[in-house]
Amino acid sequence: MDIRDLLLKNVMIMDLKATDQRGAIDEMVAKYKAEGIIDDDQLYKEDILKREAESTTGIGDGIAMPHAKDKAVKRATVLFAKSEAGIEYHALDGQPVHLFFMIAAPEGANNTHLQALAALSSLLINPDLVAALKKAKTPDEVLQLFGDAQEAKDAKDKADEAKAAQQDAAREAAAAASISAASADGKKPFVVAVTACPTGIAHTYMAEAALKEQAEKMGVDIKVETNGSEGVKHKLTAADIDAAVGVIIAADKKVDMPRFDGKHLINRPVIDGIKKPDELIQDTLDEKGPVFHAAGGHTSAAAEDTEEKKTLWSRIYADLMNGVSNMLPFVVGGGIIMALSFIFENAFGAKSQWFTFTNNLGNYAFSFLVPVLAAYIAVSIGDRPALMPGFVGGYMATVAAASVVHAQNAAGFIGGLAAGFIAGWMIVGLKKLFAGMPHSLDGLKTILFYPVIGLALIGLIMFFIVNPIFAFLNGALINWLEGMGTGNAVIVGVILAGMMSIDMGGPFNKAAYTFAIGVYQASGFKDGRWMAAVMIGGMIPPLAIAIAATFFPGKFTKTEHDSAMSNYVLGLTFITEGAIPFAATDPLHVIGSSVIGSAIAGGLTQLFHVNVPAPHGGIVALALTNQKLGFIVSLLVGTAIASLILGFWRPKAKENA
């Protein structure tokens, strides 16, 4: 696919009218909708804003590349827009943005589309092209400039590929002869790099192009592996890595790290690959990067240099979130199916086939909650060898089979958390223990030593230590909750529900939800008091935004008002993330009002003794609660308070001032 097939003349904006970042995004999204490129402007804009919240797409030199890949996009397109005056876009260099390339990729974009988008990204590294685009007056000029640049790049890429093939062959031959260090031809130093960004559309390939261009200027041979949406390209071989002076990781997501064991390695965000390629290459040549040791555990590709520079809490939180994120599909799928089963029970009776099938199916999903949580906490710490012991440890935490220690309760959710961390660090310890073994036995580590020793150790630890301790604590927690008076319960409900609105999907939100899930699981999926607090607390932020936009339209721009309407559905179905785009642009008013409303609602759920025996579903869970009126009153009161505070407190939108 030619780049010009993506750069359509009818979706170019040669004179952008917007004066700020939000306005520019609104104007470009509106153009996409008007030209039929997207069929859901609210969804597409939400994804654009989520990407901007992660890190700005204003890459500097007057360029911004906002991008999203979702089901709202009907065809892969790049919208070119130009602002003569320049727009403050929070770019990395602090300068105004003049050129915008808004990339729209369909959810199921094929490799052809992705390759074309990658090519576009790499072209924008060319300063001559950027300078010419800033002077272009018509869409035809833009297309001609890109056509000429693409032809020149294609010719260069063809020559580079031929040269790279020769160098690969030379390195393979050198590896066979046990030659390493500098480039195999003995003329130029050689480095390897990996680039990756979360969406894998733009920054991945821009970093690749910048590193290759800078390496050529510095007289350095380089091979860059890209981890983009189309998969891994130009994968580094063992011979490449062995021959390299050092390794550059320019990535914002996890990449395959153990293969770099023993190499000097520099680990930076992907944007450094775009903006600081000279520094990265020179530091690699000077071997300033620390020697990477794979046996030390996992390494996050977004860390500045090494995992050791992270704080202890940030490492624990990242490991925990890896477990929670992999567990959530079981929670959501099982929870909604379970909710349906109770509806079928009320309609057709407890012996109906509809009830028994859906109830069993939901329970099957729930039975994996703790094992999956533990397994992926362990994987985050100890990589793949930790998966099996983590999974087994998590499963052992769910069963009260500790007859040796006469435990009456299972270790439960809390024991599963412990199992994940123990299994992960246990594998880290085993890696260090076996680090001195001959390389000829490396294959036995993963297929024999780690599985067998890991299983034996986690079994002993869980059976004789973790299960007895946490079974006792779990039982004590259940007894405490059962004996808790209404006053104390209200305070806990206020805290849990308020936490759901502090960061809307972040650590506070996840901590509150994880606690409620733990109690729910420990009670045999019956005690849903805290699920009621966190569920209603999580429903209120998007609902409050939707209602405030409806009754206080002057406080929202037209685009914000239109986007807010989707939050009625998101709020009712317990998808708190619908509030994130609004919280990102106006955190004080949106988060402040949401926390107050959610906290009040959470306290009311405990005052009314609302029990929601399902971990998801939102308004669907109303059919399951023992206190339907209490559920409704808590939700309505909390939402009304949050929406009124937001409506009166939020300043009038600039376009309505």
User: In this structure, is residue 174 part of a structural domain?
Assistant: no
Are β-strands 97-106 and 221-228 bridged in parallel, bridged antiparallel, or unpaired?
A: unpaired
Separation CA 501–CA 397 (nearest Å): 31
Same domain, 421 and 360: yes
Residues 6+ apart with CB under 8 A from 98: 62, 63, 82, 83, 84, 86, 87, 134
Domain annotation covers residue 579: yes
Q: Say what percent of the chain tops pLDDT 90.
A: 32
Asked if the model's pLDDT at residue 198 lies above 90, the reply is no
- Mean per-residue pLDDT over the chain, rounded: 81
Q: Are residues 617 and 494 in the same domain?
A: yes
Model confidence, pTM: 0.47
Which CATH number belongs to the domain containing residue 300 in this structure?
Answer: 3.40.50.2300
Range of the domain at 251: 180-308
Q: Are 29 and 139 members of one domain?
A: yes
Domain match, 53 and 184 both? no
- Residue 137 belongs to some domain of the structure: yes
Tally of CB atoms within 10 A around 310: 16
- The pLDDT of residue 347 is 83
171 within domain boundaries? no
Work out the average pLDDT over 447-458. 92
493 and 422 belong to one structural domain: no
Centroid of chain to Cα 207: 20
Residue with tokens 């939400």: 46
pLDDT of residue 296: 43
Among the options 197, 203, 264, 298, which is catalytic?
A: 197
Residue 24, number of CB atoms within 10 A of its CB: 24
Of 19-28, 171-180, 380-389, 520-529, the poorest mean pLDDT is in 171-180
> Are 186 and 274 in the same domain?
yes
Distances (CA, A) of 485 to 290, 472, 607: 56, 22, 10
Residues 121-170 have pLDDT tens digits of 778 778 888 899 999 999 999 999 988 888 887 777 677 667 666 666 66
Question: What is the three-class DSSP state of 585?
Answer: helix
pLDDT tens digits, 566-607:
788 878 878 776 686 687 568 889 999 999 999 999 999 999
pLDDT in tens, 623-645: 778 889 999 999 999 999 999 99
**C-alpha distance from residue 494 to each of 480, 595, 604, 615 (Å):** 18, 10, 8, 18
Q: CA–CA separation, 17 vs 196, rounded Å?
A: 33
- Whether residues 372 and 448 share a domain: the answer is yes
Q: Is residue 172 part of a domain?
A: no
Contact of 531 with 626, CB cutoff 8 Å: no
Stretch 169-173: mean pLDDT, rounded? 60
Reply yes or no on whether 293 is catalytic: no
State which of 151, 172, 195 marks the end of a domain: 151
Same domain, 336 and 292: no
Residue 338 has pLDDT above 80, yes or no: no
- Asked whether residue 529 is assigned to any structural domain, the reply reads yes
Q: In what order do the strands lie in the sheet with 247-251?
A: 231-233, 221-228, 190-196, 247-251, 265-268
Which CATH number covers residue 136?
A: 3.40.930.10
In a domain, 160, yes or no: no
- Matching residue, tokens 């099938």: 357
d(CA 70, CA 47): 8
Q: Are residues 293 and 435 in the same domain?
A: no
- Among 102, 134, 151, give the residue marking a domain's end: 151
303: in domain? yes
**Encoding tokens for residue 406?**
């006469």
Question: Within 13 A of 343's CA, how many CA atoms are on the CB side?
Answer: 14
pLDDT for the residue 56: 80
54-87 tens-digit pLDDT: 778 887 788 898 888 888 998 888 999 999 999 9
The tally of domains found in the chain comes to: 4
243-263: pLDDT as tens digits: 899 999 998 777 888 889 889
Do 107 and 255 belong together in one domain?
no
Of 359, 4, 295, which Cα lies nearest the Cα of 146?
Answer: 4
pLDDT category, 458, cuts 50, 70, 90? very high
Q: What is the CA radius of gyration of the chain?
A: 28
304 and 316 both lie in a single domain: no
Distance (Å, whole) CA 13 – CA 11: 7
Residues 190, 339 within the same domain: no
- Annotated active-site residue 67? The verdict is yes
Of 308, 334, 363, the last residue of a domain is 308
